[in-house]
Amino acid sequence: MDALFFIELPKYGSINTTSKLNWYQQDQQEVTTGCNELNTLIEHIGHCHCIAVLSGNNVYQTQSTLAIRNRKLLAQALQYDLEEQLAEDVENLHIAWQKNAENSLDIAVINKTLLQDYLDVFAEANIPVTKLITDTQLQANCPQEFLLIHEADYTLLKTRQHCIAIESWNLPVLIESLVDTLPTSIPVYSNSILTIANCPIQLKQQVLSEPVFNYLCQQYSHAPTLNLLQGEFQRNPPQVWRFMQWLGAGVLVLLLALTIQQFYQRQQLQNQELQLEHAITDMYKTSFPEARRIIDPVAQMRTGLRTAQAQQNDSSGLLSLLAAFARSQANKIEINSLQYQQNQLSIDLSTDSLAQLEALTNALTQQGLTAEISAANKVNNRVQAQLILTGTSL
């Protein structure tokens, strides 16, 4: 069984942090009671669930048969349904509800300002109240079918259908109005004798040896009890709050660890990037020692490689043409000049005769080249000609 700590709120008037309030603590089989100022109760609460017990005369209790699953829609429907029953504007009232064993709704209505005042004082005194119930709810757990619990000017009446809180001076009128539904005798639990002149029923007095509040706390059941702290006034129990704190701390630590890991990985990537840049720059300097100004080594290296490749292709074509020409020329052919451009080799030469020039052209053609004589003249008994070669050797 969970440890419980009950605090009795005054039946009339407001409270502050110095108000003396009755309390009842139950931890396993050990029971402790007392009456202390509110701001000192935190010393006694410890690990207990804190339950505040409100006077039933501050709460309007009723039932409803509305069957709406959506909680928001149900709240709106209850406001409309209860509007004619309530003396105050529903906007100023807090409505709490809970489904009972008959699948109808137990409803409790309390003034929002009064409820907020209680919670503000509890917060100021650091009292972790997680549940707010009424003394009539505790009386409903009593085994007797009919029961009066009397304390000075305040009385609780339990019947088959309801538990009612009333000022003691109004009790005769209440009994008179309910006499047809009451048994001939009702037990009365009290710290003093309850006397009602001309009472239509017999009152079986039983004097309690303990405060009425203590007796009511003993009737608390761990079965679902209507908690007024719902919606905007909901509070988390200490265990849930501690779990949320630990969960929040765990998430924070995880986020911090992920942030540190990402920062470390980013630093590693930046270092690797810097090393790569240095390696690329060194490679560029080695490959192109004539380079003086290095701005973007990657782009400059691409440009240099493309240029070198083009030059290599050009050189390869020139060498092929020269090799083919060397294999074909006769001994008496003299070369005056060579010019190579766009895979085309232009040769200025001289031969002894046109026949020798024609033989050279045929030999080049047989090697898969295109040989064209663009000009031929006879000067000083020799033929001066310009030969143009294109293509590559087979």
**For residues 229 and 128, what is the distance between their CA atoms, to the nearest angstrom?**
12
Instruction: Work out the percent of the chain whose per-residue pLDDT is above 90.
Output: 37
The band of 283, judged by pLDDT with boundaries at 50, 70 and 90, is: confident
Question: From residue 389, how far is each of 323, 349, 392 by CA, in Å?
Answer: 12, 13, 9
Question: From residue 85, how far is each of 54, 79, 90, 251, 254 by CA, in Å?
Answer: 21, 10, 10, 48, 53
Mean pLDDT score, 296-302? 75
Predicted confidence (pLDDT) per residue in 13-57, tens digit: 889 999 999 999 998 778 999 999 999 999 999 888 999 999 999
**For residues 238 and 235, what is the distance between their CA atoms, to the nearest angstrom?**
9
Residue 156 in contact with residue 163, Cβ under 8 Å?
yes
Predicted confidence (pLDDT) per residue in 207-263, tens digit: 998 999 999 999 998 777 899 999 888 876 555 556 666 788 888 899 998 999 999
Domains of the chain: 1-133+222-235 (3.30.420.380), 142-219 (3.30.420), 314-390 (3.30.1360.100)
Residue 90 in contact with residue 81, Cβ under 8 Å?
no
pTM: 0.59
Instruction: Fill in the amino acid letter for 172.
Output: P
Helix, strand, coil percent content, the chain, rounded in steps of 5: 40, 30, 30
Mean pLDDT score, 364-375? 85
Determine the pLDDT at residue 393: 44
The band of 289, judged by pLDDT with boundaries at 50, 70 and 90, is: confident
List the beta bridge partners of residue 372.
Answer: 388
Question: From residue 84, how far is each of 56, 78, 89, 90, 98 by CA, in Å?
Answer: 21, 11, 10, 10, 21
156 burial type by CB count under 10 A (0-12 exposed, 13-18 middle, 19+ buried):
buried
Residue 195 in contact with residue 95, Cβ under 8 Å?
no
Mean confidence (pLDDT) of the chain: 85
**For residues 129 and 35, what is the distance between their CA atoms, to the nearest angstrom?**
17
Better pLDDT: 367 or 204: 204
Secondary structure class of 349 (helix, strand, coil): strand
Question: From residue 147, how far is each of 108, 170, 190, 246 by CA, in Å?
Answer: 21, 16, 11, 46
**For residues 387 and 394, what is the distance between their CA atoms, to the nearest angstrom?**
19
What is the chain's Cα-based Rg?
A: 53
According to DSSP, the β-strands at 154-158 and 147-151 are antiparallel
**For residues 180 and 152, what is the distance between their CA atoms, to the nearest angstrom?**
26
The count of other CB atoms within 10 Å of the CB of residue 234 is 11
Q: Which residues, at least 6 apart from 17, have a Cβ–Cβ distance to it below 8 Å?
A: 37, 38, 39, 121, 124, 125
